Amino acid sequence: MLKLDFHPAGRHFLQIPGPSPVPDRILRAMSYPTIDHRGPEFGALGLKVIEGIKKIFKTQQPVVIYPASGTGAWEAALVNTLSPGDTVLMFETGHFATLWKKMAESLGLKPEFLGLPGIEGWRRGVQPQMIEARLRADTGHLIKAVCVVHNETSTGVTSDIAAVRQAIDAAGHPALLLVDTISGLACADYRHDDWGVDVTVSGSQKGLMLPPGISFNAVSPKALAASKQAKLPRAFWGWDEIIEMNATGYWPYTPNTNLLYGLSEALEMILDEGLDNVFARHERLAEACRRAVTAWGLEIQCADPAVYSPVLTGVMTPEGVDADAVRKVIYERFDMSLGTGLGKMKGRMFRIGHLGDCNDLMLMATLSGCEMGLRLAGVPLAASGLPAAMDYLVAEAKVKALKAAA
């Protein structure tokens, strides 16, 4: 039995693809006393985070903040824009796309699930040409929304959202575009306005480096107009009242005050580093991670290098090796958490998170833990992956030094 006050020496390595490690600076900000959510101080905090978060979504439009996990914001996106029986086109990229589709069914929508056969869809991401073909065939415009996952956290695939927008436009179809970037936001470039996304769904505990507990809907004018006609029942999730009260920095109910302190701090950290630098750091860590996996002789879950995720890397274990047994060894021996294989990939893969508050040495320690655990679990490796990752990180550091000197 694990005792609840069990504290091994040193730091736990939380390398699951969300929740990601919360920086001390954010934890400290969250420890400020809770204030009156109707008082003047709160209004200033509210306005700061409501305006600040727009920079992360790259939008001028309203971003609604809910005291809920990402799943709540998924529901909000659907119930604010759609009516019972509406057909929605969803794309099977993995476990999270599958869960969103199940939710659509539970809400009385008619989701149509497009995808590649078998696990191919779980390795290659959204295929915009399939969406375009399906929308062209829908001459009566029965499809009311296209729903896709930007960064599929169950596999490590980041789909091209601009290409999905182009596919919808090429088909001349009026469907709304709803995108889940719960794990992509603040890790990979995301452009709510430029990409013509109608509702973007995100959450706090992935790239934003916060604990779980708040989530977001960025809302386009077209989505706002659709919400006036949409007939799915909604109360708590309704945008209207929240957006109205947000104008002065408040909410119609008690918002998550201490998480908003954390959000305020996270926004400062991300904007100080600069979004482009944040994205480049994620790309660098992901590339180093993939080089280690490849050197081990193991297969990366994402089979298309064009859509490799900067957020996490899915590692497939050889036939006959239970990936969860490897994870267990790593957890028990090295105090490191890795993501489990979800849905169709249960037992076949583990996921290494390298998102949020992560740097080169944290990644190297993570890869060391993986490699030692793989060896302990008896998985045959072609070679050590550590030199491959280090060589890449050193080369990148040299390039950076040269650029700085130039």
Render the burial of 69-89: b for 16+ CB within 10 Å, e for the rest: bbbbbbbbbbbbbbeeebbbb
Note whether 183 binds ligand PLP by CB under 6 A: yes
Note whether 121 binds ligand PLP by CB under 6 A: no
Which member of 203, 207, 339, 373 binds ligand PLP (CB under 6 A)? 203
* Closer to ligand PLP by Cβ: residue 202 or 227: 202
Of residues 86 through 105, those in contact with ligand PLP by CB under 6 A are 96
* Closer to ligand PLP by Cβ: residue 146 or 295: 146
Task: Count CB-CB contacts under 10 A for residue 41.
Answer: 11
Note whether 343 binds ligand PLP by CB under 6 A: no
Note whether 79 binds ligand PLP by CB under 6 A: no
Note whether 69 binds ligand PLP by CB under 6 A: yes
Say how far apart CA 383 and CA 317 lie, in whole Å: 15
Say how far apart CA 31 and CA 36 lie, in whole Å: 15
Note whether 313 binds ligand PLP by CB under 6 A: no
* Closer to ligand PLP by Cβ: residue 91 or 296: 91
* Closer to ligand PLP by Cβ: residue 293 or 355: 355
Sheet with 63-66: list strands edge to edge: 63-66, 215-219, 199-203, 176-180, 143-149, 87-91, 110-114
Of residues 212 through 271, those in contact with ligand PLP by CB under 6 A are 212
Nearest to ligand PLP by Cβ — which residue? Answer: 70
Q: Which of 330, 355, 334, 214 is nearest to 279 (CA)?
A: 355
Least Cβ distance, residue 98 to ligand PLP (angstroms):
10
Note whether 182 binds ligand PLP by CB under 6 A: yes
Note whether 71 binds ligand PLP by CB under 6 A: yes
Say how far apart CA 353 and CA 210 lie, in whole Å: 15
- Residue 301 per-residue DSSP state: S
Which member of 81, 153, 200, 368 binds ligand PLP (CB under 6 A)? 153
Phi, psi of 60 (to 5 degrees): -100, -5
* Closer to ligand PLP by Cβ: residue 156 or 385: 156
Instruction: Write the CB contacts of 71 (distance below 8 Å, at least 6 apart in sequence).
Output: 99, 103, 215
Least Cβ distance, residue 71 to ligand PLP (angstroms):
3
Say how far apart CA 317 and CA 326 lie, in whole Å: 9
Size of the site for ligand PLP (CB under 6 A): 13
How far is residue 395 CA from its own chain's centroid? 28
- Which residues bind to ligand PLP, rule: CB under 6 A? 18, 69-71, 96, 149, 153, 180, 182-183, 203, 206, 212
